[in-house]
Chain A
């Protein structure tokens, strides 16, 4: 398929293809981090993860409308405020859901699956009633559109770069929080041995609530970032949920590093195959490989080694 192209043309296509893979990688990381915390650390299968993302997207939509109406001069910077708002609103709502629903179901993982699925249906219909069934368009500030021209052929999309930077910052922040802070120690203690953690005086209920809220807040930021690349509608969250679970399960549910490694593996495999094969075939092959590896290693790529 490469007949008749010059070397420089091929080089630039490969550079852009590499960038496409990296930007898919950062999308996966953003999607999966929130779920990895909730699923991995708490064992709660949150089927409403996609709907939390869409809550963040709608928050962005409302913020952009607000800025356009009242502070058009600051419109260029609204996105940062929108992301903070999305985080706060989703985290608050997550904490409420944890208090109202999840905490009653901790010892029954299958029931949380059903309950959060119900929650996702309720949320979808709520969005439909509030915002209408049509998708809404989130207007972006001028500077976020378009591409940076690196050479004649190589152009890097700005929104892709932006998503990448956000993914990087959040992953870094999460790492510091989980592995370098006192609160992170408490979370890990509760995950590894709940009764013992309680015995040394950790309020495991409060830790759970904060963990769930954090996961939902990150989902909100992801949703906010995705208004740049995807659609915002009542059921858009469904499009993300499968990929999200795929990344988290494949990476090994309890390992954040595993989530990142698996996001990298899946995104690179998929975008490379999409280039050489067709879109649907790439998806099929990716899923086949993931299923195959999970059959050999049911605990995922990176399993946490602890004594049970």
Chain B
């Protein structure tokens, strides 16, 4: 366990070199002071959370050891960065954020136990954490029983909506419908081969994909799942060559990714040749670091965020992230979603004028974050985010180039009718 106090108040005094961020910070300070300088603790905290006159404690709960630490480390970094920036901009209701970090150790019961500890013993005002659906399902009863608030960053399969969770990543329909509509409209795709690792997220996602493809009157030429960690894809690649689909829709995760894309290349299926086209919802810039850019060059990914997005918010975010953690860092979709968590929480607290969980829940829907690196986001009644769907083309240097984004924000729909 690590207790950590971030740097003192008054971050707008110029130590923070980046012009854009400074502006943002200054406006935040102004906003904070305008609300109420520092309302008394008895008024903003009626349920005994860890809030004092000048600090508020939150929890960070991710795996920093074990197999999932590969993926979760980026989220931890993003959340800490957001907390640091909020503190430098004056904190929340005049209080500096302190955090307690716990390690879920890639083990779902440990997640549940640690979340209980965070809520019951540390009395944290909010928790930023979890990555896999399994870990989220494990902590869910704890958060609902002890009335905590979890900000969950990963894109996931949907079919869930809890009063105690804000989902800052995309749910399945947002990723999948955007991907398939784009492939059909822009690339004239007629047949799809669905492929995935064998667990809940790829299976649910492919189910939605299949329904959508069939609704459009197009064909699904195959659907297959392989165990997690599977490294031999030659047979399925042969099948794909036989069926000649227009699109390989791949939701392969973890180490299997490396094997899959390397073998695809080796079998003479070159994604840069556009047919068959490879479309994925599971490979972020983070994963490409492990797969190697030269192996995925030419594939398309459907996400809501790419590190290369060209807007002012994102430039400032990427610069701040690299300054904090080193120039060789890459930022994937989930890392950005994790960065949103602390900011959305801060806005909810300020809108409610209170740290009380019930009040935060009440005011959360409708909160808009214009400073998000992905652009503008808004919290929906169902606790998911309105966000744009985007398609990126993987380049050899491991970055995505934006090739398409939806004009409107896509409505989150965790229980899509007709897709279950």
Evaluate contact between A231 and B257: CB separation under 8 angstroms: yes
Report Cα–Cα, A228/B295, bound state, in Å: 11
Q: Does B370 contact A (CB under 8 A)?
A: no
Q: Which B residues, 200 to 249, have Cβ-Cβ distances below 8 Å to chain A? A: 223-227, 229-232, 234-239, 241-242
With A147-B266, A147-B268, A271-B234 known, 4 other A-B pairs at CB within 8 A are: A23-B232, A234-B70, A274-B236, A279-B235
Q: Which of A24, A128, A136, A147 contacts B290 (CB 8 A)?
A: A136
By beta carbon, the residue of chain B nearest A235 is: B67
For A, the interface residue count at a CB cutoff of 8 angstroms equals 51
Evaluate contact between A279 and B226: CB separation under 8 angstroms: yes
Q: Does A68 contact B (CB under 8 A)?
A: no
Evaluate contact between A13 and B241: CB separation under 8 angstroms: yes
Task: Name 12 A/B residue pairs within 8 A (Cβ), A-sorted.
Answer: A20-B232, A133-B69, A134-B70, A135-B289, A145-B266, A229-B262, A231-B256, A231-B290, A238-B67, A274-B236, A280-B225, A282-B235
Evaluate contact between A135 and B262: CB separation under 8 angstroms: no
Q: Does B265 contact A (CB under 8 A)?
A: yes
Known A146-B266, A231-B258, A278-B224; judge A239-B235 contact (CB<8 A): no
* Top 3 A-B pairs, shortest CB-CB distance: A135-B290, A20-B234, A157-B266
Evaluate contact between B263 and A229: CB separation under 8 angstroms: yes
Q: Does B267 contact A (CB under 8 A)?
A: yes
Evaluate contact between A228 and B262: CB separation under 8 angstroms: yes
Q: Does A137 contact B (CB under 8 A)?
A: yes
Evaluate contact between A13 and B230: CB separation under 8 angstroms: no
Q: Does B309 contact A (CB under 8 A)?
A: no
Report Cα–Cα, A20/B264, bound state, in Å: 12
Interface string of B366-408 (1 = CB under 8 A from A): 0000000000000000000000000000000000000000000
Known A155-B268, A230-B259, A280-B225; judge A134-B289 contact (CB<8 A): yes
Q: Does A17 contact B (CB under 8 A)?
A: yes
Known A134-B289, A235-B67; judge A27-B242 contact (CB<8 A): no
Q: Which A residues, 75 to 117, have Cβ-Cβ distances below 8 Å to chain B? A: none
Known A23-B234, A157-B267, A159-B266; judge A239-B225 contact (CB<8 A): no
Residues in A whose Cβ lies below 8 Å from that of B73? 133-134
Q: Does B130 contact A (CB under 8 A)?
A: no
Q: Does B255 contact A (CB under 8 A)?
A: yes
Residues in B whose Cβ lies below 8 Å from that of A155? 267-268
* Chain B proximity of A147: nearest CB distance (Å): 4
Q: Which A residues, 1 to 28, have Cβ-Cβ distances below 8 Å to chain B? A: 5, 9, 13, 16-17, 19-20, 23-24, 27
Q: Does B147 contact A (CB under 8 A)?
A: no
Interface string of B179-193 (1 = CB under 8 A from A): 000000000000000
Q: Does B66 contact A (CB under 8 A)?
A: yes
By beta carbon, the residue of chain A nearest B262 is: A229
Residues in A whose Cβ lies below 8 Å from that of B242? 5, 9, 13
By beta carbon, the residue of chain B nearest A18 is: B238
B residues lining the A interface (CB < 8 Å): 64-67, 69-70, 73, 198, 223-227, 229-232, 234-239, 241-242, 254-259, 262-263, 265-268, 286, 289-295
Known A134-B290, A136-B290, A160-B266; judge A279-B227 contact (CB<8 A): yes
Q: Which of A17, A125, A231 contacts B65 (CB 8 A)?
A: A125
Interface string of A108-149 (1 = CB under 8 A from B): 000000000000000001001000011111110000011101
Evaluate contact between A160 and B234: CB separation under 8 angstroms: yes
Q: Which of B225, B231, B254, B292 contacts A229 (CB 8 A)?
A: B231
Report Cα–Cα, A232/B254, bound state, in Å: 11
Q: Does A188 contact B (CB under 8 A)?
A: no
By beta carbon, the residue of chain A nearest B228 is: A239
Report Cα–Cα, A280/B8, bound state, in Å: 54
Known A134-B73, A275-B235, A278-B224; judge A239-B292 contact (CB<8 A): no
* Chain B proximity of A74: nearest CB distance (Å): 19
Evaluate contact between B265 and A146: CB separation under 8 angstroms: yes
By beta carbon, the residue of chain A nearest B290 is: A135
By beta carbon, the residue of chain A nearest B242 is: A13
Interface string of A138-178 (1 = CB under 8 A from B): 11000001110100010101111000000000000000000
Report Cα–Cα, A238/B227, bound state, in Å: 13
* Chain A proximity of B260: nearest CB distance (Å): 10
Residues in A whose Cβ lies below 8 Å from that of B259? 229-231
Residues in B whose Cβ lies below 8 Å from that of A13? 238, 241-242
Residues in A whose Cβ lies below 8 Å from that of B67? 235, 238
Residues in A whose Cβ lies below 8 Å from that of B65? 125, 128
Residues in A whose Cβ lies below 8 Å from that of B265? 145-146
Report Cα–Cα, A174/B346, bound state, in Å: 64
Residues in B whose Cβ lies below 8 Å from that of A137? 258, 289-293, 295
Q: Does A192 contact B (CB under 8 A)?
A: no
Evaluate contact between B225 and A279: CB separation under 8 angstroms: yes
* Chain A proximity of B242: nearest CB distance (Å): 5
Q: Does A40 contact B (CB under 8 A)?
A: no
Residue of B66, B256, B268, B292 with most partner-chain A CB within 10 A: B268
Residue of B223, B232, B262, B293 with most partner-chain A CB within 10 A: B232
Q: Which of A139, A157, A282, A283 contacts B263 (CB 8 A)?
A: A157
Residues in B whose Cβ lies below 8 Å from that of A238? 67, 229
Residue of A128, A136, A274, A283 with most partner-chain B CB within 10 A: A274
Report Cα–Cα, A24/B238, bound state, in Å: 14
Residues in A whose Cβ lies below 8 Å from that of B70? 133-135, 233-234
* Chain B proximity of A153: nearest CB distance (Å): 8
Q: Which of A19, A24, A278 contacts B232 (CB 8 A)?
A: A24
Residues in B whose Cβ lies below 8 Å from that of A240? 231
Report Cα–Cα, A158/B262, bound state, in Å: 11
Report Cα–Cα, A138/B225, bound state, in Å: 26
Evaluate contact between B66 and A235: CB separation under 8 angstroms: yes
Report Cα–Cα, A133/B290, bound state, in Å: 11
Q: Which A residues, 246 to 288, have Cβ-Cβ distances below 8 Å to chain B? A: 270-271, 274-275, 278-280, 282-283
* Chain B proximity of A128: nearest CB distance (Å): 7
Residues in A whose Cβ lies below 8 Å from that of B231? 27, 226, 229-231, 239-240
* Chain B proximity of A251: nearest CB distance (Å): 19
Evaluate contact between B239 and A275: CB separation under 8 angstroms: yes
Report Cα–Cα, A231/B242, bound state, in Å: 27
* Chain B proximity of A16: nearest CB distance (Å): 5
